[in-house]
Amino acid sequence: MTAEGKSNQELHPLANIDRVIHAPARLMVMTYLYVVESADFIFLMNLTDLTWGNISSHLSKLEEAGYVEIEKTFVNKKSHTMVQLSEKGRQAFQNYKTQIQQVLDELPD
């Protein structure tokens, strides 16, 4: 990293923001998962107003990052998917919250 790049990192805390969480749809999903123990796809769809495909793709990205744990089960021969934040995801969300608050607090009025 160049000296200019390092300087930018120090000056712009936004550069360190976790981009996996920062996307609005994923932020919504992470926020709702943060306040509950676990929820299924349908519950998350209703809360976030995202479509099935959207929520599925965002959850895949969060799963790849290790932020959520997805468990598929069968209830009455129908597949049923419960999602919950992993410990890593919970920690990442707390860090994100701290960082974004810091950025907003440092903005001039």
Partner 1 sequence: MSQSLNLKTAERNSFKLATYTDGLNDISLGIVMIVLSLYSFTRNLLGPVLNAVAILIVVLIAVGSLSFIKSRLVPPRVGIVKFGSQTKTRLIKAVSATAILVLAVLATWYISASDIIFQEPTWERLPRWVTDFDVDIFFTLLTIALFSSIAYSFSVLRFHLYGLLFGFGMLLSTILSVYRGIEFQYPMAFSGLVILGIGIYILFQFMKSYPRHSEEG
Binding site residues, partner 1, CB under 8 A: 24, 27-28, 31-32, 34-47, 52, 78-82, 97, 100
Structure tokens that stand for 66 in this block: 């290790």
Instruction: Give 54's Cβ-side CA count (13 Å radius).
Output: 14
Cβ proximity to partner 1, 5 vs 24, nearer residue: 24
DSSP assigned state of 72: E
Q: How far is the CB of 38 from partner 1 (least distance, A)?
A: 5
Q: How far is the CB of 82 from partner 1 (least distance, A)?
A: 7
What is the rounded CA–CA span in Å between residue 104 and residue 17? 12
- Of residues 48, 46, 39, the one with CA closest to residue 80: 39
Q: How far is the CB of 3 from partner 1 (least distance, A)?
A: 32
- Identity of residue 9: Q
Cβ proximity to partner 1, 57 vs 81, nearer residue: 81
Cβ proximity to partner 1, 10 vs 74, nearer residue: 74
